[in-house]
């Protein structure tokens, strides 16, 4: 053998089992070929005919799958059965997710983040963070304004008033033409009080419309507190600012040809926001509020499992399942509360490490 050649060891495997035909195993070829989508075929064939020879890779993959009423489904970490889609169904779901009326258009992980700082201003926070958690149903809201928006909507709306419930992250919003106290009072009455009862507190900034005499009179009449953030500690209304960013991003991505129609997309934006999982709670605002997930158009288009088979469930079993789901709502809310507390404590610890206390006395140059 020439010296420049590299020796390689080739493993030869010998199968001692006789052929399938010799063993007398019948094969139903028509039932084995279920779909033209190649990735599902090996798993389906193995689950239906586990005695047939199959690759080790397929056998390992099949541990996470099962056949349920003729459909290939995958078991998620929380034991939810997820239907495996073919290419055509997958394209329908992706189209509905990104272009449909429930399309959240929310960004994933950011690829790049440009930070620009001007001047010698100290960026370290000067006061510790005080996390806010309000677990009582719809008792604590954060409210803020978006705008002035250019261009204005076709109906001359220049602003959006936004209110976010602290616990479930449920958001209410409405396009308005001006930021008068009467507009804000009407929003609180119609979107908060008449829908979710009188709150215990509403966190606002120190805008003139929020701290006007009419607003203070309303708070006194309904016996709720107006908690005001200050320019020195604007983070006190951080929940409202966070919701504003998400809503603006969703609307911006929905508008392509008619930017003046943003007021029409606002309600689709709210639906997308309410039915999307929030990182802080690991669930959707809709599920935390009503006890179950919303049925979205994509689930009707491709016939998700719970839609395709709900008519085969007898009425008594369906009612029992709904009652069990409602009974589990309290447990879900307690779990979410604990997760929020842990998350806020972690953020607070990291934030407070950067705090540099500032103390000034009269006459000092600052």
> Cβ of 223: how many Cβ atoms within 10 Å?
8
- Note the pLDDT tens digit of each residue in 104-143: 555 544 444 333 444 445 556 666 666 666 677 788 898 9
pLDDT of 238: 62
pLDDT of 237: 56
Cα–Cα distance, 237 to 256 (Å, whole number): 31
Residues of the chain with pLDDT > 90, as a percent, come to 16
Q: Which fold has domain 140-280?
A: Nucleotidyltransferase; domain 5 (3.30.420)
Stretches where the chain sits below pLDDT 50 are: 5-6, 8, 10-14, 19-36, 108-120
pLDDT of 235: 55
Q: How many angstroms separate the Cα of 246 from the Cα of each of 78, 179, 221, 267, 349?
A: 27, 21, 33, 14, 25
Buried b (16+ CB within 10 A) or exposed e, 26-37: eeeeeeeebeeb
Both tokens of 46, joined, read 């193995």
> Cβ of 352: how many Cβ atoms within 10 Å?
13
Q: What is the pTM of this model?
A: 0.62
- Asked whether 194 and 218 are in contact (CB, 8 A), the reply is no
pLDDT of 159: 92
pLDDT of 104: 56
pLDDT of 26: 43
- Note the pLDDT tens digit of each residue in 27-57: 333 333 334 457 788 888 888 888 877 788 8
pLDDT of 106: 55
Which helix or strand (DSSP H or E) is residue 96 part of?
helix 87-99
- Asked whether 70 and 98 are in contact (CB, 8 A), the reply is no
Cα–Cα distance, 175 to 247 (Å, whole number): 12
Cα–Cα distance, 165 to 269 (Å, whole number): 17
């Amino acid at each position: 053998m020439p010296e420049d050649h590299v020796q390689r060891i080739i493993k030869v495997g010998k199968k001692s089992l006789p052929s399938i035909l010799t063993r007398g195993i019948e094969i139903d070829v028509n039932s084995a070929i279920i779909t033209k989508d190649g990735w599902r075929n090996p798993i389906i064939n193995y689950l239906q005919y586990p005695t047939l020879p199959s690759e080790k890779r397929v056998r390992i993959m099949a541990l996470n799958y099962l056949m349920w009423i003729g459909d290939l489904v995958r078991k998620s970490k929380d034991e939810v059965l997820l239907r495996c889609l073919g290419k055509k169904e997958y394209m329908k779901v992706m189209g509905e997710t990104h272009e449909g009326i429930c399309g959240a258009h929310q960004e994933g992980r950011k690829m790049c983040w440009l930070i620009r700082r001007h001047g010698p201003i100290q960026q370290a926070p000067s006061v510790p963070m005080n996390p806010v958690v309000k677990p009582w149903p719809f008792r604590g809201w954060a409210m803020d304004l978006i705008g002035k928006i250019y261009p204005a909507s076709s109906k001359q709306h220049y602003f959006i008033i936004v209110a976010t419930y602290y616990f479930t992250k449920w958001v209410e919003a409405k396009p308005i033409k001006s930021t008068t106290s009467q507009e804000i009072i009407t929003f609180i009455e119609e979107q908060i009080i008449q829908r979710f009862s009188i709150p215990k507190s509403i966190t606002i900034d120190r805008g003139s419309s929020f701290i006007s005499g009419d607003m203070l009179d309303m708070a006194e009449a309904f016996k709720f507190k107006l908690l005001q953030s200050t320019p020195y500690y604007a983070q006190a209304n951080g929940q409202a600012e966070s919701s504003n960013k998400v809503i603006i991003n969703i609307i911006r991505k929905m508008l392509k040809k008619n930017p003046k129609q943003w007021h029409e997309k606002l309600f689709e934006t709210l639906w997308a926001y309410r039915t999307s999982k929030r990182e802080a709670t690991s669930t959707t605002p809709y599920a935390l509020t009503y006890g179950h997930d919303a049925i979205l158009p994509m689930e009707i288009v491709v016939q998700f499992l719970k839609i395709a088979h709900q008519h085969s469930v007898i009425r008594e079993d369906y009612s029992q399942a709904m009652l069990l789901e409602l009974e589990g709502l309290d447990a879900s809310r307690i779990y979410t509360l604990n997760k929020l507390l842990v998350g806020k404590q972690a953020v607070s610890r990291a934030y407070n490490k950067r705090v540099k206390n500032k103390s000034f006395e009269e006459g000092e140059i600052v």
